Amino acid sequence: MTPALPEQPDWLWRSPSPKPSYDVIIVGAGGHGLATAYYLAQHHGVRKVAVLEKGWLAGGNMARNTTIIRSNYLWDESAAIYEQALRLWEGLPAELDYDFLFSQRGVLNLAHTLHDVRESMRRVYANQLNGVDGEWLDAAEVHKVCPILNVSPDVRYPVLGGTWQPRAGIAKHDHVAWAFARKADALGVDLIQNCEVTGFLRTGDQVTGVQTSLGPIRAGRVGMAAAGHSSVLTDTVGLRLPIQSHPLQALVSELLEPVHPTVVMSNHVHVYVSQAHKGELVMGAGIDPYNSYGQRGSAHVIEEQMAAAVELFPIFARAHMIRSWAGIVDVTPDASPIISPTPLENLFINCGWGTGGFKATPAVGSVFADLLATGTPNPLAAPFGLDRFRTGALIDEHGAAGVAH
């Protein structure tokens, strides 16, 4: 049962009037923007901060993700930042004094072909070398972890085994946003809703603030954390980012009794399934192949992911879909994020997370706060700079998404 929410503070329905200037402006009041504001205030003492949101607090991708948290990525750079995020997740309910229903129920990534098996075992060994908990399970061991999963050898794509990360799990996304927002608000950060950023104030190549629907606001530094719309904003100052925006599909079922004990992902049949705390099944699939800012996406993607889910879980064949939606994700050429200064002085970007944004929330909030406070990338963030697209030092995580991009 979802616990009762604490008394809602003023910022959930009333935004403060923006001040003429701030030390730092953060564009986007989703998980990343709110976490960045919290860490700026808590760890760096930078409290003259405004988080600007064109809609309502955490109403964008933070309200449209599938709540999965894990760190079993292949490459060293990715494993480092996601494992740091998972370690922070484990202490975050106590630090923020908020129960956002963090549940370490584990994540299974299934293998259906010999190629899947080899790649999965490679990732397990890489995880173990990086200190990330990971195990290889054969089909019988997979069935013990998730008894409702169909491991029959007679299906179209039999389950040959899977990787297992026991510390992974899920958390309730909107509660996470409220937890960061409440703490940031208490530390003096201004959370300003219904304030759309439409452009930047500039003096030559120096950004001096933002233009908004409420008027101009000056700032010493501006950090962008607006998932799915970063390129739209940077286009206003002639900065072209190496990203494309796509709808990312997901859906939920009617409420069911607790039956699904973990999170199951399959790149091969193209679906991932978990069960939320209230009881609905949460299913995700891939991104729509075309560029779009639409928050519905194509019906055929939903049809294919439901067919895949029923193949893996025959027990769900009579479950009813309640709603579907699409978040808007930025995808880079190497399917890894950008956390970086820009060629414009005082403008910093955090974007390109693809399917990895929610699970990275506390770590990216921490390292982006470091960047905004000091102007220098944290060692965890340094590999994800814009310059890698010039030097060729890419971090190719295409195969590490819950369902491949």
pLDDT for 269 beyond 70: yes
Confidence of residue 5 (pLDDT cuts 50, 70, 90): very low
pLDDT value of residue 401: 61
Number of helices and strands in the chain (H, E): 9, 18
User: In degrees to the nearest 10, what's the CA dihedral of 177, 14, 351, 362?
Assistant: -30
**Spatial distance between the Cα atoms of 173 and 63, rounded to a whole number of angstroms:** 6
* φ/ψ bin of 335: left (φ > 0), alpha (ψ from -120 to 50), beta (otherwise): left
pLDDT value of residue 387: 96
User: What does the chain come to in residues?
Assistant: 405
More confident: 306 or 140: 140
pLDDT for 300 beyond 90: no
Contact by Cβ (8 Å): 337, 396: no
Percent of the chain whose pLDDT exceeds 90: 77
**Spatial distance between the Cα atoms of 318 and 296, rounded to a whole number of angstroms:** 23
Please give the structure tokens belonging to residue 4.
């009762």
Contact by Cβ (8 Å): 120, 109: yes
Per DSSP bridges, beta strands 107-111 and 190-192 are unpaired
pLDDT tens readout for residues 126-138: 999 999 999 999 9
pLDDT for 101 beyond 90: yes
Contact by Cβ (8 Å): 136, 110: no
pLDDT tens readout for residues 342-362: 999 999 999 999 889 999 999
pLDDT for 290 beyond 70: yes
pLDDT tens readout for residues 190-235: 999 999 999 999 999 999 999 999 999 999 999 999 988 889 999 9
pLDDT value of residue 266: 93
**Spatial distance between the Cα atoms of 214 and 224, rounded to a whole number of angstroms:** 18
DSSP 8-state assignment for residue 95: H
Intra-chain end-to-end CA distance of the chain, in Å:
34
More confident: 209 or 65: 209
Residues 6 or more apart whose Cβ sits within 8 Å of residue 140: 151
SS3 content of the chain, % helix, strand, coil (to 5): 30, 25, 40
Supply the Cα-derived Rg of the chain in whole angstroms.
21
pLDDT for 24 beyond 80: yes
Helices (H), 206-318: 230-235, 299-312
**Spatial distance between the Cα atoms of 159 and 31, rounded to a whole number of angstroms:** 35
* φ/ψ bin of 167: left (φ > 0), alpha (ψ from -120 to 50), beta (otherwise): alpha
Please give the structure tokens belonging to residue 184.
């940031």
Helices (H), 190-229: none
More confident: 165 or 247: 165
pLDDT for 171 beyond 70: yes
> Domains of the chain (ranges plus CATH)?
18-65+173-242+333-400 (3.50.50.60), 104-167+244-331 (3.30.9.10)
Task: Give the number of C-alpha atoms closer than 13 A to the C-alpha of residue 400, restricted to the C-beta side.
Answer: 26
CA 12 to chain centre: 22
